[in-house]
Amino acid sequence: MKFHPKDLLHIENHHLSIEKIEKDIDYLKRGFPNLEVVKPATLNDGIIILDPQEEDELISIYQKSKLEAIKFVPASGAASRMFRMLHQFMEEYPASQIDFETFLHQDDYKDLVSFFDAIEHLPFYEDLKFALKGKGVDFDSLSQGDKALRFTKQMLSSEGFHMANMPKGLIPFHKYTEEKLTAFQEHLFEAARYVVKDKEAKVHFTISKDHLDKFQEKLKDIKPAIEEATGVNFKVEFSFQNPSTDTVCLDTNGDLYRDGEGHILFRPAGHGALIQNLNALKGDLVFIKNIDNVAHQDSEEEKSKPTHKYKSILAGKLIQLQKKAFGYLKALEKEACDKTIVKEAKAFLRHQLNIHVELQTKEDVFYYLNRPIRVCGMVINEGAPGGGPFWIKNEDNSVSLQIVEKSQIDLSQPDQKEKMEASTHFNPVDIVCSLKDYKGKTFNLQDFVDTNKGFVANKFVGGKPVKGLELPGLWNGGMAFWNTVFVEVPAHTFNPVKTVLDLLKPGHQPEKNV
């Protein structure tokens, strides 16, 4: 492909190369190879189920360890998708000339019936109502339709709170007696329960560079109070997706998409780019959890079965596996290694690290064993969209456990569709992983990425359809060559906020509101 002279400088300024762009264009045009699913991972066939005694043992292993832990929270981007349905309502309801109740009973808006019936339970309800009162609006005297419309406009319009333009992490998620807490704050409180060493908790947020000032300002406001409440000192770091991981888009004609000034458009390449951010961390263990997945501390299930318990269980399992793996690796590197050790290590790889491949030599065993380990919590699939746990066949003919997105499976193949539909569990992004090898040296995580596991996604830029490229996902192709273990965790530990309606679910409400 020929590039304009002005393109070359634009590409260089973005820390990209012609070679990378040409490779991206090739992927956009021909796509990525589909995965070959062998079968879904299910209980006792790829997903471990633990009894209470085993759980207690693993918690003890983690609590007694002296490993340095870090909580890693992908938190980039604005909350626009969270409010998409309300934006639609705000635009279409006034123009419809339909009465409120009839409008909401259309298929596209049925979910808003229960939402508007319960808006007083939103954490920011009183703030919105107070703001409307300041504008001279007697909210309580309005009709149901006018209440809904005025409330939505105050929430989303530029003259109001403009919440869809805020970082999702800085939106109030939960209301307590004395305060409202954002997802950002809740992650710090949660970290104080399971990543503390010497009274210090390390938490790393990946955010948009445009939002850094807002997060730093918020941190300055909240840190002293949270440290006083928990007795923990927080070391909070922020990082951004590296511009060198950005990719190009193609328009409907298959040409490079350019902005209004004729420049090639570069866009972030999804959470797969964050493998670089993860690679820069220096701790022993890393807990990965998305920004929107936090529970109200006073919700019914959080009180009875606290989330942090299951984080400690996953960490204990990782330490248990890592100790065995390191022992085998140290034995295997010796020239005079006992054949019994080689046999035991093979069995360990197959039965506990889920690597099914013919291993001929001790060097083969060493190669597959000397990899980062991740232990991932899996919840029962109750219809949530997203990836799930599967056994897949790799290019080297090995069979291993992977987290697979629906878009990676060729659903035109009946057997592949059948295997996808037989899946029982869902990936909530509840991961504990190791970053160091048996010699204490930090792995280069880029060595364990499968570059053929990216995605081509249909996107819109300025209202125009484009084909965009996403790098191999952080927990999909970005960790394809890690050793992987899946453990079932309770569904209540997964409390995502994909839309504002989710803030009214039990996991985000105090016990009295449930």
Q: For residue 108, is it within any domain?
A: yes
Q: Which domain holds residue 86?
A: 81-165
Give the predicted TM-score (pTM) of the model: 0.94
In which residue are the tokens 């037989």 written? 422
Q: What is the mean pLDDT of residues 412-417?
A: 92
Task: Tell me: pLDDT of 302 over 90.
Answer: no
How are beta strands 36-40 and 388-393 bridged, if at all? antiparallel
Nearest to 443 by CA among 286, 240, 290: 286
Residue at 274 is within a domain: no
> Does residue 461 have a pLDDT over 90?
no
Please state the domain count of the chain.
2
List pLDDT tens digits, range 99-144.
999 999 998 899 999 999 999 999 999 999 999 999 999 998 999 9
Residue 139 forms part of a structural domain = yes
pLDDT range class, residue 514, cuts 50, 70, 90: low
pLDDT tens profile 428-443: 999 999 999 999 999 9
Does residue 255 belong to any structural domain of this protein?
no
Neighbours of 415 (CB within 10 A): 10
Question: What are 362-373's pLDDT values in tens digits?
Answer: 999 999 999 999
Q: Which of 198, 173, 192, 267 is nearest to 470 (CA)?
A: 267
The residue with tokens 């399992």 is 317
pLDDT at 9 over 90: no
The answer on 438 and 408 residing in a single domain is: yes
For residues 412 and 496, membership in a common domain is answered with: yes
pLDDT in tens, 184-204: 999 999 999 999 999 999 999
252-300 pLDDT, tens digit each? 988 889 888 888 888 888 888 899 999 999 889 999 999 999 999 998 8
- Share the mean pLDDT of the chain: 92
* Tens of pLDDT, residues 316-334: 999 999 999 999 999 999 8
Q: Examine the domain organization and report whether 475 and 440 are in the same domain.
A: yes
pLDDT at 475: 92
* pLDDT at residue 4, rounded to an integer: 79
Same domain, 411 and 318: yes
Residue 96 lies in a domain: yes
| In-domain check, residue 129 | yes
Claim to verify: residue 437 and residue 340 sit in the same structural domain: yes
* Claim to verify: residue 59 and residue 103 sit in the same structural domain: no
The answer as to whether 144 is a domain residue is yes
Domain-ending residue, one of 145, 165, 185: 165
384 confidence band (pLDDT: 50, 70, 90):
low
The answer on 440 and 387 residing in a single domain is: yes
Residues 342 and 491 in one domain: yes
Cα first-last separation, the chain: 59
Please report which confidence band the pLDDT of residue 2 belongs to, taking 50, 70 and 90 as the band edges.
confident
Q: What is the pLDDT of residue 1?
A: 65
Q: Both 111 and 58 in a single domain?
A: no
| Domain end residue (candidates: 109, 134, 165) | 165
Last residue of a domain, one of 118, 140, 165: 165
Same domain, 58 and 135: no
Q: In terms of domains, do 38 and 159 share one?
A: no
In a domain, 297, yes or no: yes
- Residue 476 CA to residue 288 CA, distance in Å, equals 13
pLDDT at 243 over 90: no
Are residues 121 and 41 located together in one domain of the fold? no
